Structure 1
């Protein structure tokens, strides 16, 4: 996959993430920029979840969006 394809995939999944976690801002998405650990951290911050709860949310989301690649 080249850089343009990866960028296009990120844009697609960014929209899906914002559908799932509506409290995430565009600035959050810039910080996350495809990094799973950053996504978990932002979900913890925005939703007040414990780390294990945020990890489970992301794992469940990944299962339902198997074509996503970090």
Structure 2
């Protein structure tokens, strides 16, 4: 799946993201609303990752859907 598709199916993707990153709140996922950069920033902040680590993790997550 690519980001254009993920954006269009955000409610479905949001559930999978919640399973992967359990510390993310519904509000944080609602705010991201399919925005790649915002999701990366949230994952980076919540999990103490570098930007590159968070980007790789988020991109791999979306590609696996």
Report the TM-score range of the alignment, normalised by the length of the smaller protein. Answer: 0.7 to 0.9
Q: Give structure 1 stretches of 5+ with no counterpart.
A: 1-5, 66-70
Tell me how far apart the structure 2 counterparts of residues 64 and 51 of structure 1 sit (CA, whole Å): 20
Match of 1:10 in 2: 10
Deviation per CA, 1:10-56: give whole Å up to 9, x if none. Answer: 11110011011111101101210110100000000110100000001
Alignment RMSD (CA, Å): 0.9
Larger radius of gyration: 1
TM-score by length of 1: 0.77
Q: For residues 57 and 17 of structure 2, what CA distance do their matches in structure 1 show?
A: 11
TM-score (norm: length of structure 2):
0.82
Which structure has more RCO (C-alpha within 8 Å, separation ≥ 6)? 2
Residue correspondences, number: 58
Q: Stretches of 4+ moved more than 3 A in 1?
A: none
